[in-house]
Structure 1
């Protein structure tokens, strides 16, 4: 059992999932076509992307088969996103979920990496949605540190596949989560 990964990642996944659910619950219909700090997504597109990713993350934690590429999933609503965030957090609450390998995203990977990607998606895209819809996305210092850790872990690969833009400089005394945002190519001061 990978107790260290679970004790570090699960509280952060749970906290970010709660923040995503709160953000999603406040999205108004007229905000769905607004831009987000993640330049390739509108609010509606990001709700759909994140919701689908979190459903896959829950399946990965439970070692369930992922749907085939040709199976069309229904478009996510903000409420469905909130539900999928809760499902992902619940699935990663099992310490055994962090052991061995699982199927997630592009294929099979270490389960602890799938958990890291889940936190990365929740933290960064949760912040994107909050910024785009005028909501706060407040995290504890422990969760901010966990988020920085996974963003640093994934940065080289994410920059290589176009998921991250060039790093954005942030002051050395900035909150930990601002450093994570900057590493991922996001401007912590983004304001539409």
Structure 2
């Protein structure tokens, strides 16, 4: 499994931003595949996650100001010299910056999948980046679950299903 790059993150951030921009006024209260979250709550979680990771890496206060601002701060924090080697605290423990980058990529793509499902949009994340996130998740998630991480049990998915569906299922989404 190869390590992700900040350029991959920038691409995923932009693609997720386009999904958020595609939400219509009527869709903000629609349910999502994340139990108990409507579209508004899901987008708030995405923005908050960006802000949290940016603050963890940069040492600055968590101050989300909307998706574009949180994305800009996230990318700047990951691009800072030494960020990928730094040990940072995420919600379930201390990890190197490279692992934090893996986590953020997987989270953005799965929540982008959630958002697309809830709003009738299509995702266009690169399959190679999703494959990388799936391989990482398969290796790391058992440890996260042992520590009480926030992931639902994996759901079944056909091995010939699109890779993003397989990632979403692995992280607890019903894909059928």
Measured against the shorter chain, the TM-score band is: 0.7 to 0.9
Tell me by how many angstroms 1:52 deviates. Answer: 0.9
Q: Equivalents in 2 of 1:176, 1:126: separation in Å?
A: 14
* SS of aligned partner of 2:29: coil
Map of 1:70 onto structure 2: none
**In the TM superposition, what whole-angstrom CA distance separates every residue of 1:76-128 from its partner, at most 9, and x where no partner exists?**
6xxx1243234323432346211121243356432222222211221111211
Tell me by how many angstroms 1:51 deviates. Answer: 0.4
Q: Equivalents in 2 of 1:155, 1:116: separation in Å?
A: 12
Pick 1 or 2: higher relative contact order, CA cutoff 8 A, min separation 6.
Answer: 1
Q: Equivalents in 2 of 1:95, 1:40: separation in Å?
A: 38
Note the aligned Cα RMSD (angstroms): 2.5
> Is 1:105 aligned to 2:102, yes or no?
no
> What is the 5 A alignment of 1:5-16?
5=3, 8-16=4-12
> Is 1:179 aligned to 2:175, yes or no?
no
> What is the 5 A alignment of 1:36-75?
36-62=32-58, 64-67=59-62
Q: Equivalents in 2 of 1:38, 1:157: separation in Å?
A: 22
Contact 2:131 2:163 in 1 (8 A): yes
Q: TM-score, normalised by structure 2?
A: 0.83
Tell me by how many angstroms 1:42 deviates. Answer: 0.9
**In the TM superposition, what whole-angstrom CA distance separates every residue of 1:40-67 from its partner, at most 9, and x where no partner exists?**
31111111111011011122233x1445
> What is the 5 A alignment of 1:1-192?
5=3, 8-62=4-58, 64-67=59-62, 80-94=66-80, 96-105=82-91, 108-160=94-146, 161=148, 163-189=150-176
* SS of aligned partner of 2:32: coil
Matched positions, count: 174
Instruction: Please list every run of 5 or more consecutive structure 2 residues that lacks an aligned counterpart in the other structure.
Output: none
